[in-house]
Structure 1
Amino acid sequence: MGYRIVDLDTVSPSDGRPCEMRALGTAAELSNVAINRFRAEPGEQLPLAYHYHEEQEEAFYVLSGTLSVETPEGTYEIEADGLFAVDPESPQRAYNPDDADEDVVVLAIGAPAVDGDAVAYDPE
């Protein structure tokens, strides 16, 4: 058996991200699921690029603010306490619009926790 408690304040933000991202799954030493907490100011996006995952399912649970998610089918707006689920091979770009009144805080969960399955997507 194994148990771990992760205090958000002890997890440093990841470098090189377009917004604040804290890798909670890594801090908890989880191997089958990725859990990241994002805080995006107005005008910031969560991912490094518009993309899709080859294997990973993703779920974005909005803790506060409103998250916008651009897809080839249109843009979705998810308010606090809303969940947006993304199937593998479904392009998306999650962001906080430039004209937002506040930061958006999101808990992102992905499974399986795989490296290198994110593929850049060009909406053009």
Structure 2
Amino acid sequence: MRTVALDDFDSRMGPADRNVPLTDALGAANAALNYYELDEGDSFAYGVHAHQSQEEFFYVVEGTVTFETLDVQQSADADGDAASTDETEVSAGELARFGPGEFQRGVNRGSDRVRALAIGAPQDAGDTEILRECGECGETTTQAIELADDRSEIRTICESCGSVTGRFD
């Protein structure tokens, strides 16, 4: 058996106020585990995303998370939109599950702090596709993640035009 205390870990850089990776600390071999704290406007992820081969579970310990979901399987409508979006609130004591290939992003849209656990299985997520709005392209595009040369921030980069679409420290 292994035990750990959250207060013993530093947060890693990203879109959440606090993100503590616990997988290695607990010696997990078949699942990934992360602890999050989100201030108002913070998110679990860099954009709406889907993991090719991993399902994700979120347990909300405190607060309310709004999950944005995207159905990219839906055929284009008359306006040319290729996907439909939906939002679902998940509150303290509730859980959400996303299967492999399901696009989602959890955001704290309230003023109360969110505390949550995220579990992914299997541990290897496979390819992850991230989508964000690109101001230069004028549409939602696939994104790459890169660490700044001086290691001061993580950036999301539009894969179509190379523009920086987000900065996270």
User: One fold, TM greater than 0.5?
Assistant: yes
Secondary structure of 1:105 counterpart: strand
- Report matched runs for 1:1-124 at 5 Å: 3-14=1-12, 16-19=13-16, 20-72=18-70, 73-97=85-109, 100-114=110-124, 117-121=127-131, 124=140
Q: Residue 63 of structure 1: SS of its match in structure 2?
A: strand
**Runs of 5+ in structure 2 lacking a partner?**
71-84, 134-139, 141-169
- Alignment length (residue pairs): 119
**Given that residues 59 and 84 in structure 1 are in contact (C-alpha distance below 8 angstroms), is that contact kept between their aligned partners in structure 2?**
yes
Q: Deviations along 1:75-109, whole A, 9 cap, x unmatched?
A: 01001000000000000011101xx1211111100
TM-score normalised per structure 2: 0.66
TM superposition outliers: structure 1 runs of 4+ over 6 Å: none
Extract unaligned runs of 5+ from structure 1: none
The structure carrying a bigger strand percent of its residues is 2
Whole-angstrom CA distance in 2 between matches of 1:114 and 1:25: 12
User: Normalising to structure 1: TM-score of the pair?
Assistant: 0.89
Q: Which has the larger radius of gyration?
A: 2
The whole-number CA distance in structure 1 between the counterparts of 2:45 and 2:29 is 21
Taking CA–CA contacts closer than 8 Å with sequence separation of 6 or more, which of the two structures ends up with the larger relative contact order?
1
Amino acid at match of 1:31: A
How far did residue 115 of structure 1 move?
5.3
Structure 1 residue 55: Cα displacement: 0.3
